[in-house]
Structure 1
Amino acid sequence: MRITCVGGGPAGLYFAVLAKLADPGHEITVLERNPAGVTWGWGVVFWDDLLDDLFRYDPVSAERIWESARQWDEYEVRATGKPVTHLAGYGFSLGRHRLLEILAERAAELGVRISYRDELTDLSDLPPADLVVACDGARSRIREQYAEHFGAEVEVARNKYIWLGTTHVFDTFTFGFEKTEAGWIWFHAYPFNDRTSTFIVECQPSTWAALGFDTLDARDGCVKLQEIFAEHLNGKALIDHRAEVGGTGWLNFRRVTAHRWDHGNVVLMGDSAHTTHFAIGSGTKLAMQDAMALAEAVASGDDLAVALERYEHRRKAALAPLQRAARASSAWFERMPEYADLPAKRFSYALSNRRGEYPMWRFVLHMATQNIVARTLLRWTLSARRWSRARRRPNTSHSVAAGQAIPNTA
């Protein structure tokens, strides 16, 4: 089968890897508009469920991701006028650049052709292909070319946000809320290597305008944000890639929902088919799980139309609860000032329960973690759990042999 992936992000590269593992005879090309090694974005976060899936589908790339990822052991909540609180939980983060490097290397090892600086503007420019995978992002040109068929709806969220980096390395995943004369503004930050952290800033549009961000360019905007969050940055700078090219990175989140995902031999994957708000940190996870499901459907041996329909139904069912959680989470942040006067522990609980699915036993555990001894014991428990998982993976993982169906994890 001749397969062309339009977009060299995590979804396109990982699908190319899995499709090639399932059948080395596939001729697979990935078209990426950026030069090799160039990408927007900072770090991504993920949890055990994605890691377990990665080890099931391709232990080679999974091991490289596991070795490169940084682990953090709790959530720290800081807010003006409140003592710092901590929430139980752990996760992993990895630089987007490093993730793409791992996946591109793995794809090349398997014989996938990656064409960089290849910006597709029209499907008529595509080389002949049996399957075209549109993984070209939330503003997908392929999806827009067949807009009436795919029926995508775009809902623009109210809050303003900007995706920055900083050389200040946070100890763990940190939420920081600062009260200014113009209202509340906050950040979601996490380390993703030994030198850099992701730093996402968010606020209501009235606060954004009152602080002057509607008139500041990227460089001056970063200086303003450094002043606001100086207490959290330890003298380190904030970095906006757009400062080098002009403009600013402030955006409103675009919630994309496509009613149909396939059209003939064209299929949508990742952000071109759906987006989920960054407040639940699942965009990369969902894109790579799309790739798993699509690769499995293509490897089934069914007619392409049947395979693509199965892929769409399977992924829409899996996405539904996370999309609800993401919507609830983003709505909570749009109402954040309503919770600002709560005592520290109640504020942290409200933050943790913003998706409406925080079980009571975790709240009790959260309360217990305010005690330093209990927090230390919790860290030991989580570390032991991670160690146990790491030891089990090499014994239970298996790759996709040539001509072998990809394992079904639905």
Structure 2
Amino acid sequence: MRIVIIGAGPAGLYLSLLLKRSRLDVSLQVVEQNAPDSTFGFGVVFSEDALEFLKQDDPEIFNAITPELERWRGIAIHHRGERVMLDGIGFTAIGRLQLLQLLQKQAYAEGVKVTFNRPVNDLSEFSDADMIVGADGVTSLVRRSDEAGFGTSISYLSNRFAWFGTTKVFDTLSQTFLETPHGPINAHHYRYSPTMSTFLVECTDQTFFASGFDRMSEDETRIALERVFAATLDGHALVSNRSIWRQFPIIHNERWFTGNKVILGDALHTAHFSIGSGTRLAIEDAIALARAIKASSDDARAAMAAYQAQRKPVLDKLVAAANASAAWYETFGEHMALPPYDFAMSYLSRTGRMDIERIRKVAPEFVAEWERRKSTA
């Protein structure tokens, strides 16, 4: 079977690694438009046990990644000048480039060859492939080559966000919600190395235009946001890396394959950054596709059909939770009318997957204080 993988991000790299390890009779080609050390953003955050699935399936990768992770327990919500701690909720993080380099090292050790700096503008050059895998992200050429076949729908959230880094090292995953003269704004921030943190800023459509961000350059935006979040940054600067304002795309595909093409990761679905699962879901997609290929007896179409049938029910639940979280953030300014502890409770229950009893089990100290305040209000 001849397989061409377009894209060498985490999903494409990991799929190539799994296919090489399988020792199947596969002719494998991996192409990536960017350089090996090129990446967007700064850190990747995972829930505490998000990579546990690798412990059994791939201890080698698990053991390579886990020593490099930053770890903490608890989420800090900053609202109206008060810090509310949500205890018991663990997270880990790693630099995006560091994660890519770890996966590259493992893939190369298995004999994977990636052609970097290789833009693809027309898939016809791979027409003889049994399977063309689109691991090429949100703007996927593979998906765009036949959106009718995939049944693609794309919509955009109204909020704007911009992804920065900072040398301010935060002790935990934190969010700061501010009411500015121009409207509500918030920042998601967490450390991903001993010396760096991610600092993702989000604001409403109203705030975006009223603040004049639509008229600012990338550097002007950075300077303006340093002023807005001066107390949070504690004198540290923001660091840019293609840190332009974006609107988050909600990507959905009715069919995961069409003809000899199949998609995974952000090319197939997006998961809002507020749940920190995009990279994990992409890696799990790669695992599911690799398993389907291994079980297909050289039948590419059967493999693609099995991949969708087996993976879709699980993925649909996770994407639904991500979309519910995104919907909460679209109106986060309205939720900010709540007192800090009620606001934090609204935040915790935003996906619809956590009722009060589950929240009590996860964050008992927070719930006890929330209930105390409710009883004395």
Structures share fold, TM-score greater than 0.5: yes
Alpha carbons 2:154, 2:251 under 8 Å: kept: yes
Q: How does 1:8-407 map to 2 (within 5 A)?
A: 8-23=8-23, 25-81=25-81, 83-88=82-87, 89-126=89-126, 128-242=128-242, 249-302=244-297, 303-364=299-360, 366=363, 368-369=365-366
Kindly provide the amino acid, as one letter, of the partner of residue 237 in structure 1. Answer: A
CA distance in 2, matches of 1:190, 1:362: 25
Q: 1:369 to 1:206 in 2, by over 3 A?
A: closer
Q: TM-score, normalised by structure 1?
A: 0.86
Kindly provide the amino acid, as one letter, of the partner of residue 317 in structure 1. Answer: P
Alpha carbons 2:170, 2:190 under 8 Å: kept: yes
SS at match of 1:354: coil
Alpha carbons 2:48, 2:90 under 8 Å: kept: no
CA apart distance, 1:370: 8.1
- 1:378 alignment counterpart: none
CA apart distance, 1:290: 0.2
CA apart distance, 1:90: 0.3
Q: Which runs of 5+ in 2 are unaligned?
A: 370-377
CA RMSD of aligned residues (A): 1.7
Alpha carbons 2:171, 2:191 under 8 Å: kept: yes
CA distance in 1, matches of 2:107, 2:368: 47
Alpha carbons 1:57, 1:292 under 8 Å: kept: no
CA distance in 2, matches of 1:226, 1:70: 25
- 1:389 alignment counterpart: none
Q: Percent identity?
A: 36
Alpha carbons 1:164, 1:239 under 8 Å: kept: yes
Q: Which runs of 5+ in 1 are unaligned?
A: 243-247, 373-410
CA distance in 2, matches of 1:222, 1:358: 36
Moved over 6 A (4+): none
Q: TM-score, normalised by structure 2?
A: 0.93
Aligned residues: 366
Q: Deviations over 1:146-186 (max 9, x none)?
A: 12211210011111111111111111100101111011100
CA apart distance, 1:128: 4.4
Alpha carbons 1:86, 1:370 under 8 Å: kept: no
Q: 1:280 to 1:306 in 2, by over 3 A?
A: same
Q: Deviations over 1:329-375 (max 9, x none)?
A: 11111111222122221111111111112232344353524899xxx
CA distance in 2, matches of 1:202, 1:47: 21
SS at match of 1:364: helix
Alpha carbons 1:27, 1:112 under 8 Å: kept: no
Alpha carbons 2:173, 2:189 under 8 Å: kept: yes
SS at match of 2:121: coil
CA distance in 2, matches of 1:237, 1:125: 46
